[in-house]
Structure 1
Amino acid sequence: MTIGIHWNNQLSQGEITVTHDGLSRDDGLVTLVLICLFTDARADADDIIPDGSGDPRGWPGDTFSDAPWGSKLWLLDREKLTGSVRQRVEDYASLSMEPLLRAGYARSATVTATVSGYDRINFIVILTRPDKSHLRIDISKRWEATANAL
């Protein structure tokens, strides 16, 4: 049995999938990329918490890890989707791939983020596996700050 996360670009959300008898072919890397991107990394002391609560979030599993998992994309939740925010999205997403590199699941990872309209951001994640083959993952995410402002 294989349990994974499948990204639905139309709904801008992940869906948990369960397959039996080896039918799943993503070998877990797609699921790991989604976990890295959309699990909240703990905010640093100098980060501004968007909801003003002061809650730095973070994934509880980091307690048992040598280095944190997740991304700080959540810190941008209330930002308008501008060029500078797109760059921060790309930077946070790229940094979130570090656990995959440290663990040896990938030799390299590149993330490109592009704005698509006023309420959507697209990610292209390209991983180079240890055997030097490439895995490309395309993610389209609705930008909630813009959608909620309407």
Structure 2
Amino acid sequence: MMISLGISGETNAFDLLPASDDKLTWLNNAITISLFTDARASDDDALPDDSNDRRGYWGDIDLPEGVSLGSKLWTLDRSKIIPDTLNTMHDIVTDAVQWLIDDEHLLAINVTVERDTDNVNRVNFQLDCQLINGDWVSIFRSHEVQS
């Protein structure tokens, strides 16, 4: 048995849930952490609240200089969901999961980003992942923008 980061039906938030101890559970956890941990913003990144808080994860201290775990999705929290925003989100998601290819956990990842048709403030991500054995699995996540 393994603990998985799943969506709780009661709170619609991430929660620790029991899951099978297998590669797909590990991959789901790795993608969730990669997308929804706040990566440190660069000096030239626009911040959503005009503050000086560039966030970041405290565990980055053990990573090489300039490397930050997570994604910069949080920097788009007050953005209007327009094609440019969707393109930026695509780039952010792709960057956040690239380590899974670099560290040879996956052979390839194809990212699709689209605005949710039921909730205008939500963006849906589909990550088609090619496993080392050549099989493909699709993982779905969403991110709500606070306009």
Same fold (TM over 0.5): yes
Aligned to 2:17: 17
Paired residues in the alignment total: 142
Q: Which runs of 4+ in 1 moved over 4 A?
A: 8-12
Deviation digits for residues 2-34 of structure 1, max 9, x if unmatched? 111113589653221134xxx355331001001
Q: Deviations over 1:68-105 (max 9, x none)?
A: 22111000011111111111111101110122122211
Structure 1 unaligned residues grouped into runs of 5+: 146-150
| TM-score of the aligned structures, taking structure 1 as reference length | 0.84
1:128 to 124, 130, 136: 130
Partner of 2:61: 63
Q: 2-side partners of 1:120 and 1:63: how far apart? A: 32
Greater mean alpha carbon deviation, residues 81-90 or residues 110-119:
110-119
Identity of aligned residues (%): 27
2:37 equivalent to 1:35:
no
Q: Contact between 1:49 and 1:75, CA under 8 Å: does it hold in 2?
A: yes
Question: Could you tell me which amino acid in structure 1 is paired with residue 34 of structure 2?
Answer: C
Normalising by the residue count of structure 2, what TM-score does the alignment of the two structures yield? 0.85
1:105 aligns with 2:112: no
